[in-house]
Amino acid sequence: MELHNLKPAQGATKNNKRIGRGQGSGRGGTSTRGHKGAKSRSGYSNKRNFEGGQMPLQMRLPKRGFKNPNRVEYVAINLGRLQKIVDKYKLNEVSPEILYTNGIIKKRDRIKILGNGEMTSKLNITAHACSKTAQQAVEGLGGSITIL
């Protein structure tokens, strides 16, 4: 066996359909495209959302409201959840970097501390925002909150 006499195994390859090569081929005439209509023409490409000239669905539906491009979204963390995190990871301070390294938030998330739940340990917290009730609860236990 040498390079010039290599060929695929029997039945491993198929011949291409030779379309539009006369009536005798069985695929002449309309060349398997059917009769008339856009899909039979050359140059036809199916556009996304095209409904045959009918007004497309996304244009028939009403548009409402708007998205504020300057909106700042926070990941809310309640004091109860914060206490569970502190107990699990044995922390004495909490910051976005520490929460990220422990897999609680994503890299670019901003965090806001909310006052729901029970807090029992004194903590130094660094966050992007904080509610008044959360601040009172943390400072009542002798901890501190730093806003970034």
What tokens were used for 53?
Answer: 């000239």
Neighbours of 39 (CB within 10 A): 9
- Compute φ and ψ for 25, nearest 5 degrees: -80, -15
For the chain, list the strands marked E by DSSP. 74-78, 93-94, 110-114, 124-127, 129-130, 144-147
d(CA 120, CA 140): 10
Return the pLDDT at 118: 86
Domain ranges of the chain: 74-147
At 28, which amino acid appears? G
What tokens were used for 139?
Answer: 């400072």
**Domain 74-147: top CATH class:** alpha beta
59-107: per-residue pLDDT in tens? 999 999 999 999 999 999 999 998 888 888 888 888 899 889 988 899 9
111-144: per-residue pLDDT in tens? 999 988 888 888 888 999 999 999 999 889 888 8
